[in-house]
Structures are given as structure tokens and as C-alpha cells.
Amino acid sequence: MNEQNKGHEDLTEEVVNDEYTEQESDSVNDEAVEQHSDEVEGEEAEQLSEIEEIKQEKEALQDKLARLQADFDNFRRRTKKEKEADLKYKSQDIANDLIPVLDNFERAFQVEVNDESTNSFAEGMEMVYNQFKQALEEHGIEEVEAEGVQFDPQMHQAVMQVSEEGIESNQVIEVLQKGYQLKDRVIRPAMVKVNE
């Protein structure tokens, strides 16, 4: 019977060892699963963090792109306006040079002409003057309306102030030097005498 007991003890020991090995194996498997699960969670958290960073970078780049696009649109509009203004007022420099010539023509016409030859010369000069004035008008250069109108500091420069009865206050009485404007821009204000 001892042999039987001994065999039974061996068998029991073997079963206990097997159970212990299974428990140990299950414990090791659980630890491995937990460790693997922790690693996966860590990797997922890292990936989510990377995704968030990429999203933030994307949003920052989209914002930067939108700002650059707006800056470019503003630059393009500003350049277009400047070009339009340059085209609109391209005649200003030449007008500034030619207006004194008109003044000299007008001064020359104030001289009285008595004989026939001088009279025909004056008529020829007047034709040139009218042609010159017409060419300027075709380029948008016109006289500033002054005599008999209300004084406008944008259009007129008052150099004298007088008091005359029968004329409205602040009305231009006399033009001392003509003013000129290019389209809607005053090139030279008219020098005027104004009633108080």
C-alpha cells in the first residue's frame, strides 16, 4: 500500500504542480496582457497627441495662408488704385509746366494793337492760344470757375478782401490769376479778390 500511497502522492504532487504552473502561467499571461495593454494605450495616447499637434499646425498654417491671401488682395487693390490714379492724373506734370505759358499768352493779349500787321499777328497768336487751351481741355485740364461765385477754399486762394455794396458776402469779385484743375484735382487754385 505504500507504493500505492507513494504513487498517489506523486500524482497529487503532479496535479498540484500542474495547477500551480497553470496559475503561474495565467498570472504571467495577465501581466503580459496588462503590459501590452499599457503599451498600446501609451502608443494610442502618443498618436492622439501627435494628431492634435498636426491639427494645430494645420490650423496655424490655414490661418497664416488666409492672412497672406488677404495681404495679397489688399496689395493688389492698392496697386490697382495707384495705377488708376497715375493714369487719371498722368497729365498733371505737363499741365504744371504749360499753365504758365497760358498765363503769358493772356498777358500778351492785354497789350493794345493799333496797326494792321500787328493785329493779324495778334489774331494768329489767339488762334494758337485757343488750340493750346483746347488740347489741354481734351486731357481734362480746365479753368477753375471763380468770378461771381462763392469763395471756396478748395478752389480759390483769397489774396485780397474788399468791401463792396450790392455784392454778396464771401463772393469772388475779381480773378487775379486763373486757377486750373485736372479732372477733380485742383492743380492751381485761382487767386481771387473776395467781398467781405
Residue 99 makes CB contacts below 8 A (sequence gap 6+) with: 141, 180, 187, 188
**DSSP classification of residue 109:** H
**Which amino acid, 100?**
P
- Supply the pLDDT for residue 86: 78
Rounded Cα distance between 194 and 175, Å, is 9
Q: Is the pTM of this model over 0.85?
A: no
Sign (positive or negative) of CA dihedral 171, 175, 181, 187: negative
Residue 28 predicted with pLDDT over 90: no
Higher per-residue pLDDT: 190 or 21: 190
Question: pLDDT tens for residues 55-65?
Answer: 999 999 999 99
**Cα pseudo-dihedral 60, 61, 63, 66, rounded to 10:** 180
- Distances 4 to 1, 11, 16, 80 between C-alpha atoms, Å: 5, 10, 18, 111
- Supply the pLDDT for residue 2: 52
Residue reference for cell 490769376: 177
Question: pLDDT tens for residues 106-164?
Answer: 888 888 878 888 888 888 889 999 999 999 888 889 999 888 888 998 999 999 888 88
Higher per-residue pLDDT: 75 or 167: 75
